[in-house]
Amino acid sequence: MKADASRGNSIAAAGSCVSGKGSVTLLNAVFAQYYLQSANTISLLRMTNGLYELAKEADKAIAF
């Protein structure tokens, strides 16, 4: 989780550098928050899919 937070902050900081302003703008902060939320959702979906695949394999093993 800590790595995700620092990654989001890096993106926000990069965005503020591109715009030529020293401080992080509200838009960049919102973008960073959206990015973090998306990354967390995607990793949750991957974990859920992984558990589903694992359960399918277990069912096959039990059937034989």
Per-residue model confidence (pLDDT) at position 1: 46
pTM confidence score: 0.35
Give the chain's domain count: 1
CA distance 39 to 8: 10
Per-residue pLDDT of the chain (64 residues; tens, 9 = 90+): 455 555 555 555 555 455 555 566 777 777 777 777 787 787 888 888 888 888 888 888 877 6
**Which of 43, 40, 9 minimizes the C-alpha distance to 24?**
9
Take residue 20 and report the two structure tokens written for it: 């030529």
CA distance 6 to 40: 14
Q: What is the residue range of 31's domain?
A: 2-63
